[in-house]
Amino acid sequence: MRAAAVTQFGGPDILEIVDVPRPAPGPGQALVRVAAGAVNRIDLSTRSGALAQAGLLAPADRYWLGWDVAGTVEEVGPGVTRFAPGDPIIGLRDVLSAPGTHAEYVVLDETALAPAPTSVPLTTASTLPLIGLTADRSLTLTGLRAGQTLLVTGAAGGVGGLLLELARLRGIRTVAVADAEVPADHVVRRTEPLPAAVRAVVPGGVDAVVDAAVIGVPAHEALRGGGTFVALVAPFAPPPLRATRVVVQEVFADGTRLTELSALVDAGQLTLRVAGTFPLDTIADAHERLAAGGLRGRLVLTP
């Protein structure tokens, strides 16, 4: 089968499509025929060497790419009970030493899989796992209750957009930092002084912040004393000033929660956007486009 990998770190030109044996599922695993896999910022960090420099990749001769997947179960290993060959699924690869989802086939644990939403194509469904689980876990870590207020930076992005929708479902009031129209109670433009603009609409500061845009301290200044700040990138988490609680969200493959998020897509309560699709052989073009920024939606590779 064909799979995307790198054997050295650098720009998009070092990306390779290699031929490797098709993997076989072990106990509790499923072999998935990949229909589509979204491209994420972490794929760029893997390719550039940023993850390795941060000590987040074990030394290897080859590094594989791809976290998100949508496809069809091809074969199951012993002990698999939730899925059978032919089932359309979505899933998340969260073990970076294993072959990635930017390939024709991938093996994942049954616990990493969920039924694909039926209301959208598999290319669109492939954009849900990483950003959906990240947004959901981030919101849970805030500990907010209905009626409290959440600030979301990067609200026009994939994680930020789903955060706003999930917060609305829980009755949480939202303030969004965005330059586009987003489903928030209040919108602060990126050009405005962030702490003052937020406190103008929420006197005293918001109850929690999810910093999807990795703004750091300026976003923390919009937080009330004793509030909660959720960072998505550990090195850019601000210190817990004014008795605030600062936590770092770390996503993991949670098939049970992903099943619930898939159902919310079918219920019309979560919105997925695709900005463009690329054949697997043009993965370098997809990396370049993502790095350029300015996207409203996700880029997807189709093997």
Reduce the DSSP state of residue 287 to 3 states and report it. helix
- Residues 66-91: tens digit of each pLDDT: 999 999 999 999 999 999 999 999 99
Q: Which H helix or E strand runs over 226?
A: strand 223-231
- Residues 252-267: tens digit of each pLDDT: 999 999 999 999 999 9
The angle that helices 158-169 and 128-142 make with each other, rounded to 10 degrees, is 50
CB 204 within 8 A of CB 186: no
CA–CA gap between residue 175 and residue 151 (Å, rounded):
5
What pLDDT shows up at residue 233? 86
Q: How many CB atoms lie within 10 A of CB 68?
A: 28
The angle that helices 283-292 and 41-48 make with each other, rounded to 10 degrees, is 110
Can you list the residues of the chain whose pLDDT is less than 50?
Answer: none
> Measured between alpha carbons, how far is residue 156 from residues 23, 107, 171, 294 in Å?
37, 32, 20, 10
- Residues 49-63: tens digit of each pLDDT: 988 888 888 889 999
What pLDDT shows up at residue 252? 95
User: In DSSP terms, which residues pair with 113 in a beta bridge?
Assistant: 91
The domains found in the chain, sorted by start residue, are 2-127+272-302 (3.90.180.10), 131-248 (3.40.50.720)
Pairing label, strands 16-19, 29-39: unpaired
User: Token match 């370049």: residue?
Assistant: 288
Nearest C-alpha neighbor of 291 from the set 48, 5, 30: 48
What pLDDT shows up at residue 215? 95
Dig out the tokens for 184 from the structure: 């928030």
Interacting residues of 59 by C-beta distance below 8 A, sequence separation 6+: none
User: In DSSP terms, which residues pair with 187 in a beta bridge?
Assistant: 176
